[in-house]
Amino acid sequence: MTQSEKTRAWIEVIPEEAATGELKALYEEIRQRRGKIANILAAQSLHPGALRAHLELYLQVMFSRSGLSRAERELVAVVVSAANRCGYCVQHHAEALNAYWKDPERVARAVEDYRKLVLPERTRALLDHAVKLTRTPHQVTQADLERLRALGWTDRDLLDLTLIVAYFNLVNRIALGLGVTLTAEEVQGYRY
């Protein structure tokens, strides 16, 4: 393993030029869809089946039709990742959020403390729920969902929110547990 691969994660990472078979096909698919391969995906190169499942889940929760806008989904990603102190995912999704907001200062405030942002009540409630589900999932009750419904979120929206929160809790733990790193160049240049 070269120093370059070692700096991407604390485990072996198979680089694109060394990939064969299923992994090579996955890397090509990722590059076509996203423009480049994020270190969080490359860190899973030793298990192409899990990488494929991860990619499919990511595309479904973040890019498929939903009552949550793409910007709202990226905001949830940032807030959940900040709650988990996952710098890798915070930086990646802050960059994506800025692609929609086009306001780096506002994005920085979202990273620091979303509660300091001026947001619609329904968006704030969505984020409060995402943080509760992240930090104290055992305290989530049916009443929490009723509050969100009263603000206009549908059951499908609540499912989508829960899947996004669960996804980012998973990915934050992959990044933190495997020491996945990033550089400024690695964060930029994706297709949103």
Please state, for a pLDDT cut of 90, what percent of the chain lies above it: 88
Q: What is the pLDDT of residues 38-73, one digit of tens each?
A: 999 999 999 999 999 999 999 999 999 999 999 999
Q: With beta carbons less than 8 A apart as the criterion, state whether 126 and 148 touch.
A: yes
Q: Residue 2 above 80 pLDDT?
A: no
Single residue among 13, 32, 63 that ends a domain in this structure: 63
State how many domains the chain has.
2
pLDDT tens, residue by residue, 71-81: 999 999 999 99
pLDDT in tens, 129-158: 999 999 999 999 999 999 999 999 999 999
User: Are 14 and 99 contained in the same domain?
Assistant: no
Same domain (yes/no): 84, 163: yes
Residue 179 lies in a domain: no
Name which residue leads in pLDDT, 98 or 187.
Answer: 98
Distance CA 82, CA 96 (A): 15
On whether both 48 and 84 belong to a single domain, the answer is no
Q: What is the pLDDT of residue 190?
A: 76
According to the model, what pLDDT value does residue 7 have? 63
Tell me if 189 is assigned to some domain.
no
Joined together, the tokens standing for residue 120 give 């619609």
Q: Which domain holds residue 89?
A: 70-173
Average pLDDT over the chain reads 94
Question: 89 and 55, same structural domain?
Answer: no
Secondary structure (DSSP) of 29-82: HHHHHHSS--HHHHTTTT-HHHHHHHHHHHHHHHHS--SS-HHHHHHHHHHHHH
Say yes or no: 56 and 127 in one domain.
Answer: no
Distances (CA, A) of 50 to 44, 45, 47: 7, 9, 6
In a domain, 184, yes or no: no
- The answer to whether residues 80 and 136 belong to one domain is yes
CATH number, domain containing residue 153 = 1.20.1290.10
Asked whether the whole model's pTM tops 0.75, one would answer: yes
